[in-house]
Structure 1
Amino acid sequence: MNASATPEPPVVVIGAGPVGLAAAAHLIERGIEPLVLEAGPVAGHAVRSWSHVRLFSTWAELVDPAAEKLLAPTGWTAPDGGTYPTGGDWAERYLRPLAGVLGDKVRTDARVTGVSRLGRDRVVDADREQQRFTVHVTYGDGTESRLLARAVVDASGTWSTPAPIGGDGLPAIGERAAADHVSYRVPDLKDPDVRARYAGRRTAVIGSGASAFTALAYLADLAEEAPGTHAVWILRRGISGSTFGGGEADQLPARGALGLAAKAAVDNGRADAVTGFRTTAVEEAGEQLVLVAEDGRRLDPVDEVIALTGFRPDLTFLDELRLGLDERLQAPVALAPLIDPNQHSCGTVYPHGVNELSHPEKDVYLVGMKSYGRAPTFLAMTGYEQVRSIAAAIAGDREAAERVELTLPETGVCGGAGLFDTPDTQDTAQPADGGGCCSAPVTVQIGAPAASASGGGC
């Protein structure tokens, strides 16, 4: 090799969550240098923020094969594959040691603020694909840098951008003013301060997916210990046969059990269900809040609101790239029809990789929860298969990139969350929360003592 030759720049991976770290492991396996940039102070920062939640995937489904190969020489022992970790377990027992093995290939407190082609904005065609990517980064101390990359894998997730309360996708009038009494996360009721916020109070839970099921189950448990605790479950659509998820038909049993827990909360009087309610305003009523629907209905005052209406991808720092995204879901155009809750039918989304995740801008990939855009119900093992395929493609092994190496469980949940409030559409109601392993915590007791069993989101 010519000593004066310019070294090949790394593949930049944005986000040091489960899928981002797995991407690095697969790239290393292919002999490609990765550089993982994590906006948070530690790897797995988003997962740690829901550390109190138990996942509905087992350890066997949460450890990436290439990552396990990297960890093996360190003496790391895989946890019991049939058990269900919490988010904290996942972060501490897997993500932390994996980031440790990757060493200086992972930079924390490094927020990506822009990605483009070197010397080319999105308008310029000339020699575009011959230019390296330029990645602008702001560090925790306020300094900035510009890095070059041969490819970019965005695994930054959607956790930082929850959807608002408003039924039209915009913040409801008064939502921002009521921020002190609105949460967009499943509460950790083991935290004394959080527990005091909801104990003995009336709380509105907005959403129809696994996260909402979790919050309802948590609040129902709290009601047994704190009299006066009550939930008002607000759904934008009607009650149907699939409102409570896949139940016993779900091939991930813990996920199916979530909907049954939510149903029990309603049946036992711990929660009231309000259907066809699309919030347009949040009004103050003394120390309480009144939710107003676009059809004029006004609910009785509540003390707190937990909005679990989904998540969205942050695409602002990718604005100079030519992405091919579905106009509804903000997911890659080839992937969107497979996951669109407006039309997705019962069963699984088939495993997918580089073909479904490619964009007009060559060598840019959105992976993990971010690849699903606004669609729900993402599984960690889906992300692991995505990055296995993409690493193979970057390495030039097209045969491996297009080979399916994963069998996904069926959800047992039917699609159609985009349809409105008709209660008789048995096959047109899919959960519309944030979904996913790194973004939407859920809860259910799974083979563990009552004191330690919570819920999980993958």
Structure 2
Amino acid sequence: MSEQQLPVVVIGAGPAGLAAAAHLVERGLDPLVLEAGSAAGSAVREWGHVRLFSTWSEVVDPAAEKLLAPTGWVKPDAATYPSGADWAERYLQPLADVLGDKVRYGATVTGVSRVGRDRIVDADREAQPFTVRIQLADASEQRVLAHAVIDASGTWATPSPIGGDGLPALGEKAASDRISYRIPDLDNPAARARYAGKRTAVIGSGASAFTALATLAALSTSDDGAGTHAVWVLRRGISGSTFGGGTADQLPARGALGLAAKAALDNGHADAVTGFRTDAIERDGEQLVLVGDDGRRLDPVDEVIVLTGLRPDLSFLSELRLGLDERLQAPVELAPLIDPNQHSCGTVYPHGVNELSHPEKDVYLVGMKSYGRAPTFLAMTGYEQVRSIAAALAGDREAAERVELTLPETGVCGGAGLFDEPQATPTDGGGCCAAPTTLSIGVGAPASSGGC
């Protein structure tokens, strides 16, 4: 095959990866989606109990919808809010099914390079196709050649640790039986038993932490939840922007989520500890004690939920020449637009191939992975990214550089120091998780997540 006849390899069959495949097909290009899991949206399914704060109208990609339409697929009510499970079953899996053998499951990407060229070699580099090494479910290895590579593998598999310095706190590994890095699914009996009647520390200041606080507050008022209490541990203080945009947010459910977390505090279901950066975790009998880098010791807790952000796995891209910001691990042209020290997510303008290009030609990180360690990614942002990239790969530069998206504002835009830590967000295409449908939060629609 000539290089132009080779497929465009897309890593990950999540929202951004499948949308990329749909746009490539629309452009007459041949995608090959490599998915480590056994189904489409494997990461999304892991937080299937969480509801998005974007409606169906905002989480279905236009090119994907065109592919689905001839199959008789019916788009869900555009004004309603899907859960992660809804998103996977009613949209992502049908889309993957339409793509058919263009999607391979059980294929974990372990390395990407140029044929015969490690990252050092300049000679004739761009003339060589990409080689993508994969490990299959039976542990065998294969190599796939590609014309271009779009990495939409997300950040869900690599949550950030507890330590305020970005490293695991001392004792974090030893206490792993009492630590979770996910929002609990309290419809699961085992998870419910784990937190009911217990004192739980929730660490983090983002939307996932809001979700956990609201979820535990709901449990504390249930018949089997007496004694349930949360301790919200923040690395910063509480200010007017802590709980998000509220009623000013153009995504009503996103604003309502912050208000639900505030209500958990106001109603006594949670206490807040501010300015606390965890340095160590110690055992106190059957409980855990968090020790701050300033020497403070918090009262013992039964469980710890760590929601301090997600980070990209770049290990399998080590032989490629990526241009990444040294702080956020996002593409250097994109990083200034999403730096949480400068922006809320409502201030990030839509972007595409220009901001996502690297020194290594025809390699792109998209979706949640493109944001590196930055928070609050929206699914519609990922869809615009892959539309632009597909146009560029097809040679339509005018379309690639055209903006076809208007993002809603968060209502708390502006100002350095709005955040001083990454905020946890679930999955590629996700950001902004929210309260489960069983919780009435009184503002807007049911709160949400995942691509939000």
Q: Same fold (TM over 0.5)?
A: yes
The one-letter code of the counterpart of 1:434 is: A
Match of 1:222 in 2: 219
Match of 1:424 in 2: none
> Is residue 2:377 matched to residue 1:384?
no
Q: Using a 3 Å threshold, how does the CA distance of structure 1 residues 39 and 416 change in structure 2: closer, same or farther?
A: farther
Deviation per residue, 1:330-349 (Å, 9 max, x gap): 00000000000112268431
* TM-score of the superposed pair, with normalisation by structure 1: 0.94
Match of 1:190 in 2: 187
Match of 1:154 among 141, 151, 156: 151
Deviation per residue, 1:97-153 (Å, 9 max, x gap): 000000010001100000000000000000001000000000011110111000000
Match of 2:241 in 1: 242
Match of 1:68 in 2: 65
Instruction: Find the residue that maps to 2:380 and give its secondary structure.
Output: helix
Q: Using a 3 Å threshold, how does the CA distance of structure 1 residues 105 and 91 change in structure 2: closer, same or farther?
A: same
- Measure, in 1, the Cα distance between the counterparts of 2:177 and 2:38: 25
Q: Using a 3 Å threshold, how does the CA distance of structure 1 residues 98 and 347 change in structure 2: closer, same or farther?
A: closer
Cα deviation, residue 413, structure 1: 2.9
- Measure, in 2, the Cα distance between the counterparts of 1:345 and 1:287: 40
* TM-score of the superposed pair, with normalisation by structure 2: 0.95
Match of 2:315 in 1: 316
Cα deviation, residue 433, structure 1: 1.6
> Is residue 2:81 matched to residue 1:84?
yes
Match of 1:93 in 2: 90
The one-letter code of the counterpart of 1:50 is: W
Match of 1:429 in 2: 419
Match of 1:456 in 2: 449
Q: Using a 3 Å threshold, how does the CA distance of structure 1 residues 449 and 336 change in structure 2: closer, same or farther?
A: closer
Deviation per residue, 1:244-301 (Å, 9 max, x gap): 1111111100000111001000011100000000000000001000000000000000
Q: Using a 3 Å threshold, how does the CA distance of structure 1 residues 437 and 408 change in structure 2: closer, same or farther?
A: farther
Q: Using a 3 Å threshold, how does the CA distance of structure 1 residues 304 and 213 change in structure 2: closer, same or farther?
A: same
Q: Using a 3 Å threshold, how does the CA distance of structure 1 residues 445 and 106 change in structure 2: closer, same or farther?
A: closer
**Does the CA-based 8 Å contact 1:19-1:380 persist in structure 2?**
yes
The one-letter code of the counterpart of 1:364 is: V
- Measure, in 2, the Cα distance between the counterparts of 1:151 and 1:228: 55
Q: Using a 3 Å threshold, how does the CA distance of structure 1 residues 245 and 448 change in structure 2: closer, same or farther?
A: closer
Q: Using a 3 Å threshold, how does the CA distance of structure 1 residues 357 and 7 change in structure 2: closer, same or farther?
A: closer
Match of 2:255 in 1: 256
**Does the CA-based 8 Å contact 2:33-2:104 persist in structure 1?**
yes
**Does the CA-based 8 Å contact 2:21-2:31 persist in structure 1?**
yes
**Does the CA-based 8 Å contact 1:413-1:430 persist in structure 2?**
no
- Measure, in 1, the Cα distance between the counterparts of 2:414 and 2:179: 28
> Is residue 2:441 matched to residue 1:442?
no
**Percent of residue pairs bearing the same amino acid type:** 76
Deviation per residue, 1:164-195 (Å, 9 max, x gap): 00000000000000001000000000111100
- Measure, in 1, the Cα distance between the counterparts of 2:250 and 2:184: 27
Match of 1:37 among 22, 34, 38: 34
Superposition pairs for residues 277-356 of structure 1, below 5 Å?
A: 277-344=276-343, 347-356=346-355
**Does the CA-based 8 Å contact 2:51-2:448 persist in structure 1?**
yes
Match of 2:47 among 45, 50, 62: 50
- Measure, in 2, the Cα distance between the counterparts of 1:134 and 1:6: 11
The one-letter code of the counterpart of 2:132 is: V
Q: Using a 3 Å threshold, how does the CA distance of structure 1 residues 301 and 415 change in structure 2: closer, same or farther?
A: farther
Match of 2:135 among 128, 135, 138: 138
- Measure, in 2, the Cα distance between the counterparts of 1:431 and 1:343: 12
Match of 2:270 in 1: 271
What is the Cα-based RMSD across aligned positions, in Å? Answer: 1.9
Q: Using a 3 Å threshold, how does the CA distance of structure 1 residues 345 and 36 change in structure 2: closer, same or farther?
A: closer
Cα deviation, residue 6, structure 1: 7.8
Q: Using a 3 Å threshold, how does the CA distance of structure 1 residues 222 and 448 change in structure 2: closer, same or farther?
A: closer
Q: Which runs of 5+ in 2 are unaligned?
A: none
- Measure, in 1, the Cα distance between the counterparts of 2:249 and 2:144: 44
Q: Using a 3 Å threshold, how does the CA distance of structure 1 residues 200 and 110 change in structure 2: closer, same or farther?
A: same
Cα deviation, residue 414, structure 1: 4.1
Cα deviation, residue 329, structure 1: 0.2
Cα deviation, residue 364, structure 1: 0.2
The one-letter code of the counterpart of 1:190 is: D
